[in-house]
Chain A
Amino acid sequence: MEYLWQGLFQALELLVSGDGQTFSAIWVTLRVSTMSITGTLLIGIPLGFVLGYQSFPGKKGLRLIVDTLLSFPTVVIGLLVYAMVSRQGPLGDFGLLFTVPGIAIGQIILGLPIIIALTASALEHIDERLRHTLLTLGADKRQVMLSTVWEARYPILAAAVTAYGRIVSEVGISMMVGGNIKWHTRTITTAIALETNKGQFGMGIALGLVLLAIAFAVNLLLHVLGQKTG
């Protein structure tokens, strides 16, 4: 038990002293997760709208595929993205392997099914009177789409929190596509895995605490945002 307390004490020391390696991993995590969640929301919300609100042939089959992808293992995504961005892969010329944007591509693939499925679900359950209300108040097609998404903002915010939680806590993609390169692509989760293997519990615990703090801050921010837009 004592080594855990020692680890916690060491963790606080690392955080208070502004340890370079620790803060580099935090900075990389914040950068990559911000890129990933932004990309996920920008692509996922319109696709979720189409899947949940529009009618088209093959919709049920597509919904089943999206729901299945919710349990896509991160190492498999890591493997696929690695194959795509490695030198022999179709995206090899872009030099994305072992870079932050490379990790972000994998994390967007990870977050997309969550946003698409939960946005679609939110829109499937939206009050059917809404569409006629917007139309009779004079909204055009684009305004109907934007206002409908806005009406579903609370479940979409919840979807964003869920997707962010999955993105920020994943290891497989960051490890395989990012390569866990110190000062460059080492994220909080890959650093925890590495430091624990080395027996450096202090840094592992410090980074774990920061990860929890980030998750708390994001949840708090979205909660406040939800209340302000009420």
Chain B
Amino acid sequence: MIPVPFLYLLQNVMVQYAGQTVLHIPSMHIPENIILGISGHNGSGKSTLLRLLAFLEHPTQGRVRFRQATENTSREFLRRRITLLAQSPYLLKRSVLGNVAYGLKIRKEKQVEEKVSEALDMVGLSPARFLRRKWHQLSGGERQRVALASRLVLRPDVLLLDEPTSNLDQESTFLTRQAVLQAHEHWGTNLIMVSHDLEWLAQVSQTTLSMHKGRIQESSYDI
């Protein structure tokens, strides 16, 4: 029995690239109000699963449902509620303000600079120092945190994080953890994270899944 309401429901999902199956999930649900950690080796299908959950890719077969969204719900509408931070995020060729404000501007939101400053504070970047910096004037860790801020500023229903700490030092890792947990506590943002760092996942997640060769191997809840 699938508990209602669910956050995601995956039914008979298969993803193939060039005829090769990279993900196969016969049935799975992800409950609401969750911090889910997904682990697995390279090529286990973790990142593919995240792209499906972000509605950036279509499964070759099967269906991914988000809450009560129907077949007719546009993917654009869903992507305004769900956002993905990739392992090596791309920064737009703009200032930090331009990057973090991008999602707000296309949603025609107001008080943009105030919200951007708040998001930068959350990830431990001082708005006074960073707001006007260009994308090429940032270190690797700062770039990662600016990319995270540009997702947090949207106050998404779901934040998907693909190896969020893989290129970060200890301090940035700590700040990232604090920021995403703050989003979960304050705005009820669901967190779904993929990481090799089992220790980090254990510290942050409430529930865990492990994947192997495109399949769910183990889960700490009844999927």
Contacts and interface: CB of A to CB of B under 8 A. Distances in A.
Nearest to B160: A136
Given A132-B84, A147-B92, A151-B93, A137 B76 contact: no
Q: Among A130, A137, A153, which residue has the most Cβ atoms of chain B within 10 A?
A: A137
Given A137-B103, A138-B154, A130 B79 contact: no
A137 B134 contact: no
A137 B86 contact: no
B88 interface: yes
Contacts of A141: 76
B92 A151 contact: yes
Contacts of B89: 129, 133
B103 A130 contact: no
A230 interface: yes
Given A230-B93, A230-B134, A132 B86 contact: yes
A139 B56 contact: no
Nearest to B90: A129
Nearest to A138: B80
B79 A136 contact: yes
A138 B84 contact: no
A144 B135 CA distance: 19
Name A's interface SS: helix
Contacts of A129: 86, 88-90
B57 to A, nearest CB: 9
B54 interface: yes
A139 B92 CA distance: 13
Contact of B102 (A137, A140, A230): A137
B106 interface: yes
B106 A139 contact: yes
Contact of A138 (B93, B107, B134): B107
A138 B154 CA distance: 9
A143 B106 contact: yes
A136 B56 contact: yes
Contact of B83 (A137, A147, A230): A137
B44 interface: no
B144 interface: no
A2 interface: no
Interface string A113-151: 000000000000001011011011111110100010001
B154 A135 contact: no
Nearest to A132: B56
Given A151-B93, A230-B93, A138 B103 contact: yes
Contacts of A153: 93
Nearest to B95: A230
B90 A137 contact: no
B39 interface: no
B150 interface: yes
A88 B203 CA distance: 81
A208 to B, nearest CB: 37
Interface of A: 127, 129-130, 132-133, 135-141, 143, 147, 151, 153-154, 230
Interface of B: 51, 54, 56, 76, 79-80, 82-84, 86, 88-90, 92-93, 102-103, 106-107, 134, 150-151, 154
24 contacts: A129-B86, A129-B88, A130-B90, A130-B92, A132-B51, A132-B84, A133-B86, A133-B89, A135-B56, A136-B56, A136-B79, A136-B82, A136-B151, A137-B83, A137-B102, A137-B103, A137-B106, A137-B150, A138-B103, A138-B106, A139-B106, A140-B76, A140-B106, A141-B76
Given A132-B56, A147-B102, A151-B92, 6 more contacts: A127-B90, A130-B90, A132-B51, A133-B90, A133-B92, A137-B102
Closest 4 CB pairs of A and B: A129-B90, A137-B103, A138-B80, A133-B90
